[in-house]
Amino acid sequence: MNDEKASTIIEKIEEMRDFLRIGDEVIPFLGELFRFIQQVMPLMSEVNSSFKDSTSKLPDAEDRISDVTKATELATTEIMDTLDEISENVELLAEGQSEEKQKIAETINNHIQDVLMSLQFQDITSQKLTHANQILVAISKKFSGLHLKTEHIKLNTKIGEKMINELQIGINSEKIKKDSEDFHKETEDVIRHEKISQDDIDDLFG
Protein backbone atom coordinates (compact mmCIF):
# COMPACT_ATOMS: atom_id res chain seq x y z
CA MET A 1 0.00 0.00 0.00
CA ASN A 2 1.45 3.36 -0.96
CA ASP A 3 1.25 6.50 1.18
CA GLU A 4 -1.32 8.12 -1.07
CA LYS A 5 -3.73 5.21 -0.78
CA ALA A 6 -3.20 5.01 2.98
CA SER A 7 -3.98 8.68 3.46
CA THR A 8 -7.15 8.36 1.37
CA ILE A 9 -8.30 5.48 3.57
CA ILE A 10 -7.49 7.47 6.70
CA GLU A 11 -9.46 10.40 5.32
CA LYS A 12 -12.45 8.14 4.68
CA ILE A 13 -12.26 6.76 8.20
CA GLU A 14 -12.13 10.30 9.58
CA GLU A 15 -15.21 11.18 7.55
CA MET A 16 -17.06 8.16 8.90
CA ARG A 17 -16.06 9.06 12.41
CA ASP A 18 -17.43 12.58 11.92
CA PHE A 19 -20.61 11.09 10.58
CA LEU A 20 -20.98 8.85 13.63
CA ARG A 21 -20.24 11.78 15.92
CA ILE A 22 -23.11 13.71 14.30
CA GLY A 23 -25.25 10.65 14.85
CA ASP A 24 -24.38 10.67 18.56
CA GLU A 25 -25.68 14.20 18.83
CA VAL A 26 -28.63 13.85 16.52
CA ILE A 27 -30.06 10.67 17.99
CA PRO A 28 -30.69 12.01 21.49
CA PHE A 29 -32.16 15.14 19.92
CA LEU A 30 -34.47 13.09 17.75
CA GLY A 31 -35.41 11.07 20.81
CA GLU A 32 -36.35 14.23 22.63
CA LEU A 33 -38.28 15.55 19.66
CA PHE A 34 -40.10 12.25 19.41
CA ARG A 35 -41.07 12.35 23.10
CA PHE A 36 -42.20 15.93 22.73
CA ILE A 37 -44.46 15.01 19.86
CA GLN A 38 -45.82 12.09 21.85
CA GLN A 39 -46.67 14.42 24.71
CA VAL A 40 -48.28 17.03 22.53
CA MET A 41 -50.23 14.72 20.27
CA PRO A 42 -52.92 13.64 22.71
CA LEU A 43 -53.42 17.30 23.52
CA MET A 44 -53.72 18.41 19.96
CA SER A 45 -54.67 15.77 17.57
CA GLU A 46 -57.86 14.38 16.35
CA VAL A 47 -56.38 13.86 12.93
CA ASN A 48 -54.48 10.63 13.57
CA SER A 49 -56.92 8.09 14.87
CA SER A 50 -54.21 6.09 16.65
CA PHE A 51 -53.94 9.01 19.03
CA LYS A 52 -57.62 9.61 19.33
CA ASP A 53 -58.24 8.80 22.95
CA SER A 54 -60.04 10.23 25.90
CA THR A 55 -57.21 12.60 26.71
CA SER A 56 -57.50 14.37 23.39
CA LYS A 57 -58.31 17.94 24.32
CA LEU A 58 -58.74 19.67 21.01
CA PRO A 59 -62.21 18.54 19.89
CA ASP A 60 -63.23 19.26 23.44
CA ALA A 61 -61.90 22.80 23.09
CA GLU A 62 -63.98 23.29 19.96
CA ASP A 63 -67.17 22.13 21.70
CA ARG A 64 -66.43 24.32 24.66
CA ILE A 65 -65.94 27.41 22.50
CA SER A 66 -69.33 26.87 20.93
CA ASP A 67 -70.79 26.31 24.43
CA VAL A 68 -69.19 29.52 25.68
CA THR A 69 -70.56 31.42 22.68
CA LYS A 70 -74.06 30.09 23.31
CA ALA A 71 -73.88 30.78 27.04
CA THR A 72 -72.68 34.36 26.58
CA GLU A 73 -75.30 34.88 23.88
CA LEU A 74 -78.00 33.76 26.26
CA ALA A 75 -76.68 35.92 29.09
CA THR A 76 -76.44 38.90 26.74
CA THR A 77 -80.05 38.40 25.67
CA GLU A 78 -81.12 38.39 29.31
CA ILE A 79 -79.16 41.58 29.97
CA MET A 80 -80.77 43.23 26.94
CA ASP A 81 -84.26 42.16 27.99
CA THR A 82 -83.71 43.60 31.44
CA LEU A 83 -82.30 46.83 30.06
CA ASP A 84 -85.28 47.23 27.71
CA GLU A 85 -87.62 46.75 30.65
CA ILE A 86 -85.77 49.29 32.78
CA SER A 87 -85.86 51.72 29.88
CA GLU A 88 -89.63 51.34 29.47
CA ASN A 89 -90.21 51.80 33.20
CA VAL A 90 -88.06 54.90 33.28
CA GLU A 91 -90.17 56.37 30.49
CA LEU A 92 -93.35 55.49 32.38
CA LEU A 93 -92.02 57.11 35.53
CA ALA A 94 -91.07 60.27 33.65
CA GLU A 95 -94.52 60.73 32.11
CA GLY A 96 -96.13 63.96 33.30
CA GLN A 97 -93.18 64.79 35.53
CA SER A 98 -91.26 68.05 35.73
CA GLU A 99 -88.77 68.99 33.03
CA GLU A 100 -85.94 68.31 35.43
CA LYS A 101 -87.10 64.76 36.10
CA GLN A 102 -87.66 64.13 32.43
CA LYS A 103 -84.07 65.20 31.80
CA ILE A 104 -82.88 62.71 34.41
CA ALA A 105 -84.96 59.99 32.77
CA GLU A 106 -83.42 60.83 29.42
CA THR A 107 -79.92 60.61 30.90
CA ILE A 108 -80.70 57.20 32.38
CA ASN A 109 -81.98 55.97 29.05
CA ASN A 110 -78.89 57.26 27.27
CA HIS A 111 -76.75 55.30 29.71
CA ILE A 112 -78.86 52.22 29.08
CA GLN A 113 -78.29 52.74 25.38
CA ASP A 114 -74.51 52.89 25.97
CA VAL A 115 -74.61 49.61 27.89
CA LEU A 116 -76.62 47.98 25.10
CA MET A 117 -74.10 49.10 22.50
CA SER A 118 -71.18 47.85 24.57
CA LEU A 119 -72.69 44.36 24.47
CA GLN A 120 -71.19 44.10 20.98
CA PHE A 121 -68.20 42.69 22.83
CA GLN A 122 -70.08 39.37 22.97
CA ASP A 123 -69.87 38.85 19.20
CA ILE A 124 -66.33 40.20 19.03
CA THR A 125 -64.92 37.95 21.78
CA SER A 126 -66.72 34.90 20.38
CA GLN A 127 -65.08 35.50 17.04
CA LYS A 128 -61.68 35.93 18.68
CA LEU A 129 -62.11 32.63 20.51
CA THR A 130 -63.09 30.91 17.30
CA HIS A 131 -60.02 32.33 15.62
CA ALA A 132 -57.73 31.15 18.43
CA ASN A 133 -59.23 27.70 18.04
CA GLN A 134 -58.65 27.73 14.29
CA ILE A 135 -54.97 28.42 14.97
CA LEU A 136 -54.85 25.48 17.38
CA VAL A 137 -56.43 23.17 14.84
CA ALA A 138 -53.94 24.26 12.18
CA ILE A 139 -50.99 23.66 14.53
CA SER A 140 -52.38 20.29 15.50
CA LYS A 141 -52.50 19.26 11.85
CA LYS A 142 -48.84 20.21 11.48
CA PHE A 143 -48.02 18.10 14.51
CA SER A 144 -49.89 15.17 13.06
CA GLY A 145 -47.80 15.39 9.93
CA LEU A 146 -44.65 15.52 12.02
CA HIS A 147 -45.80 12.58 14.05
CA LEU A 148 -46.45 10.46 10.96
CA LYS A 149 -42.96 11.29 9.71
CA THR A 150 -41.29 10.22 12.96
CA GLU A 151 -43.31 6.99 12.93
CA HIS A 152 -42.00 6.35 9.43
CA ILE A 153 -38.40 7.01 10.50
CA LYS A 154 -38.85 4.76 13.49
CA LEU A 155 -40.08 1.86 11.40
CA ASN A 156 -37.78 2.19 8.42
CA THR A 157 -34.35 3.35 9.52
CA LYS A 158 -31.55 2.23 11.76
CA ILE A 159 -31.51 5.66 13.39
CA GLY A 160 -35.18 5.18 14.08
CA GLU A 161 -34.48 1.92 15.86
CA LYS A 162 -31.79 3.60 17.93
CA MET A 163 -34.26 6.31 18.74
CA ILE A 164 -36.69 3.76 20.13
CA ASN A 165 -33.94 2.31 22.26
CA GLU A 166 -33.12 5.77 23.49
CA LEU A 167 -36.77 6.21 24.37
CA GLN A 168 -37.19 2.88 26.06
CA ILE A 169 -34.02 2.90 28.06
CA GLY A 170 -35.04 6.32 29.27
CA ILE A 171 -31.68 7.56 30.46
CA ASN A 172 -33.35 10.30 32.45
CA SER A 173 -36.64 8.57 32.97
CA GLU A 174 -37.44 10.49 36.16
CA LYS A 175 -36.86 13.74 34.34
CA ILE A 176 -38.95 12.58 31.39
CA LYS A 177 -41.78 11.64 33.70
CA LYS A 178 -41.60 15.00 35.43
CA ASP A 179 -41.52 16.87 32.11
CA SER A 180 -44.58 14.99 31.05
CA GLU A 181 -46.41 15.75 34.30
CA ASP A 182 -45.46 19.41 34.12
CA PHE A 183 -46.69 19.60 30.57
CA HIS A 184 -49.97 18.04 31.56
CA LYS A 185 -50.38 20.42 34.48
CA GLU A 186 -49.68 23.48 32.35
CA THR A 187 -52.40 22.49 29.92
CA GLU A 188 -54.89 21.24 32.46
CA ASP A 189 -58.38 22.64 32.34
CA VAL A 190 -59.00 24.48 35.58
CA ILE A 191 -62.43 25.90 34.81
CA ARG A 192 -64.12 22.64 34.02
CA HIS A 193 -67.08 22.80 36.37
CA GLU A 194 -68.92 19.85 35.03
CA LYS A 195 -72.36 19.56 36.49
CA ILE A 196 -71.81 19.11 40.18
CA SER A 197 -74.99 20.27 41.83
CA GLN A 198 -75.06 22.55 44.85
CA ASP A 199 -76.59 19.62 46.78
CA ASP A 200 -73.61 17.42 45.90
CA ILE A 201 -71.28 20.20 46.99
CA ASP A 202 -73.15 20.57 50.29
CA ASP A 203 -72.99 16.78 50.80
CA LEU A 204 -69.24 16.85 50.37
CA PHE A 205 -69.05 19.43 53.14
CA GLY A 206 -70.94 16.99 55.34
Binding-site ranges for other proteins (CB under 8 A)? 73, 76-77, 80, 113, 116-124, 126-127
User: Which DSSP letter does residue 179 get?
Assistant: H
**Least separation, in Å, of the C-beta of 88 and other proteins?**
13
Report the alpha-carbon distance of residue 75 to residue 126 in Å, rounded.
13
Which residue's CB is nearer to other proteins, number 11 or number 73? 73
User: For the residues of 21-86, what is the DSSP string, one character each?
Assistant: HHHHHHHHHHHHHHHHHHHHHHHH-SSSGGG-STT--HHHHHHHHHHHHHHHHHHHHHHHHHHHHH
**Least separation, in Å, of the C-beta of 116 and other proteins?**
6
Which residue's CB is nearer to other proteins, number 39 or number 122? 122
Which residue's CB is nearer to other proteins, number 125 or number 187? 125
Report the alpha-carbon distance of residue 37 to residue 139 in Å, rounded.
12
**Least separation, in Å, of the C-beta of 118 and other proteins?**
7
Q: CA nearest 30: which of 182, 160, 171?
A: 160
Residue 56 backbone class (left: φ over 0; alpha: ψ -120 to 50; beta: rest): beta
Which residue's CB is nearer to other proteins, number 16 or number 75? 75
**Least separation, in Å, of the C-beta of 120 and other proteins?**
4
Which residue's CB is nearer to other proteins, number 33 or number 80? 80
User: Which DSSP letter does residue 120 get?
Assistant: T
Which residue's CB is nearer to other proteins, number 76 or number 180? 76
**Least separation, in Å, of the C-beta of 76 and other proteins?**
5
**Least separation, in Å, of the C-beta of 124 and other proteins?**
5
Q: Alpha-carbon torsion 121, 126, 132, 138, what sign?
A: negative
